[in-house]
Amino acid sequence: MKTRMTEVFGIKHPIMLAGMAFVSLPKLVAAVSNAGGLGMFNSVANTPDQMKDIIKEIKSLTDKPFGINVTLLFPNAKENAEVAMEEKVPILNYALGKGDWLIKAAHEYGGKVIATVATERHARRAELDGADALAVTALEAAAHGGEPTSLVLIPLIASQVKTPIIAAGGFCDGRGLAAALALGADGISMGTRFMLTQESPVHEKVKEVGLTATAEDTMRSDKIDGLPGRFWRNKTAIELSQGQVSLTQAVSSGWRIKKMLNVPFYKLFSSGLKERGVQDLARQAVSIDFLKTLQEPSDVNDIILPLGQVTGRINDVPTCLEVIERTVSEAEKIIKAMREKVAS
């Protein structure tokens, strides 16, 4: 299936893997790219030195285009982006920050840049900065997304920009892809759907949660990691959404993350201190600490699981190739049927 998204990034199908912390790892990234989509590695939990080895690993697993996601509010984001550009990674995806410098640097070696946005203002700004595509993330999405739903946000932004749009939030199959194209997007990003695949690194217990959860089993809160986001409604998420993070809990989690990222303790919090309060940054540290358990949870009630509303429509764990091929096939059939339906 050809769209502006496939043309810009040199991929076969207009489907992207969402950059999910501790989920979008090299094996999953390569599986999506090898299947004709766009694999996206999430670098939030890595040091610049680790990034070099990770990029080499991804390149050893696929010769297709792939991307590196950097969340600019986090420590090491700028350094990780610089490593990715030194390695001439084909595509960079930035979020939660101003990426004009990144766009300019990537374009100098022929790289492409996707800006993740959730508002009209940020979409227009990213286009002015020169982004090659916009990942527009709406209310239904796992983790961080905008307040409007995809049904509203995608056409709203599509009417104001000329840059290709990748719709995120509520997509898991061909029906969603066809709908996204109708709304003005040029492709889709899927997180929860790809988390529930054979190549996904999350534990089988976590996959079982995704298979059995309904759309009503997710919740949105700005107190779980300090930013408005959607998560699985379990005991831990509810407790975090209702209370304050204690100083002891914040320092303990922050110390473990400091060691993981190999950064000074002050940098862990100062990276976003100008825009966010101490309590929000403490929540960020605690939530990342919880996210690390997705691969080996002792009890699923003790995890923090970003989970999209679309989880209620997913009932199997196929390969990434199966997901992409049937998504495209179904979308093409629906588009054809709609033409016939309107013609009659």
User: Is 120 found in the same domain as 18?
Assistant: yes
Number of structural domains in the chain: 2
Domain shared by 107 and 187, yes or no: yes
**Which one has a higher pLDDT value, 254 or 69?**
69
Domain span at residue 70 reads: 4-202+315-343
Cα within 13 Å of Cα(247), Cβ side: 0
Q: Are 62 and 158 in a shared domain?
A: yes
d(CA 242, CA 229): 14
Q: Summarize pLDDT for 181-206 with one digit per residue, the tens.
A: 999 999 999 999 999 999 999 999 99
pLDDT band with cut points at 50, 70 and 90 for residue 340: confident
Residue 174 clears pLDDT 80, i.e. is over it? yes
| Alpha carbon distances (Å) from 324 to 212, 312, 327 | 22, 19, 5
In sequence order, what are the beta bridge partners of 41? Answer: 68
Give the mean pLDDT of 7-12.
98
- Check: CB of residue 195 under 8 Å from CB of residue 22: no
Q: Which residue has the higher pLDDT, 340 or 211?
A: 211
How is residue 256 written in tokens?
């473990």
Q: What is the mean pLDDT of residues 129-151?
A: 95
What's the whole-model pTM score?
0.88
Please identify which residue in the block is written with the tokens 């040029």: 186
Q: How many CB atoms lie within 10 A of CB 49?
A: 11
299 and 324 housed in the same domain = no
Q: Does residue 54 sit in the same domain as residue 142?
A: yes
Question: What pLDDT, in 10s, does the model give residues 78-134?
Answer: 999 999 999 999 999 999 889 999 999 999 999 999 999 999 999 999 999 999 999
Domain identity same for 169 and 231: no
User: Among residues 161, 169, 190, 179, which one has the least CA distance to residue 39?
Assistant: 190
Q: What is the CATH number of the domain that holds 119?
A: 3.20.20.70
- Which is it for the CA torsion 323, 326, 332, 336, positive or negative? negative
Q: What does the pLDDT read at residue 287?
A: 55
Residue whose pair of structure tokens reads 């529930």 in the numeric block = 196
Q: How far is it, in rounded angstroms, from Cα 14 to Cα 35?
A: 11
Q: Are residues 106 and 190 both part of a single domain?
A: yes
* 233 and 172 part of one domain: no
DSSP string, 298-319: S-GGG---B--GGGGG------
Q: Are strands 229-232 and 133-137 parallel, antiparallel or unpaired?
A: unpaired
User: Do both 144 and 214 map to the same domain?
Assistant: no
Give the model's pLDDT for residue 276. Answer: 46
| The pair of three-digit structure tokens given for residue 219, joined into one six-digit string | 């919740």
Strand positions, DSSP E, the chain: 15-17, 39-42, 66-71, 91-95, 112-117, 133-137, 143-144, 165-168, 187-190, 218-221, 229-232
Both 101 and 184 in one domain: the answer is yes
Asked if 186 and 16 count as a contact pair (C-beta separation under 8 A), the reply is: no
User: pLDDT of 208-247, one tens digit each?
Assistant: 999 999 999 999 998 877 788 899 999 888 988 887 655 5
User: Where does the pLDDT of residue 18 fall: very low under 50, low under 70, confident under 90, or very high at 90 and above?
Assistant: very high
**pLDDT at site 294:** 62
Taking the C-alpha atoms of residue 10 and residue 21, their distance in angstroms, rounded to an integer, is: 25
Same domain, residue pair 183 and 221: no
User: Residue 73 — pLDDT band, cuts 50, 70, 90?
Assistant: confident
Confidence of residue 339 (pLDDT cuts 50, 70, 90): confident
Whether the Cβ atoms of residue 135 and residue 166 lie closer than 8 Å to each other: yes
Secondary structure (3-state) at 92:
strand
CA atoms of 74 and 237, how far apart (whole Å)? 21
Examine the domain organization and report whether 327 and 299 are in the same domain.
Answer: no
What is the pLDDT confidence band of residue 279, given thresholds at 50, 70 and 90? very low
Q: Span 303-315, mean pLDDT? A: 93
> pLDDT-based confidence at 54, cuts 50/70/90?
very high
The pLDDT value given to residue 37: 98
From residue 56, alpha-carbon distances to 30, 59, 78, 332 in Å are: 12, 5, 19, 35
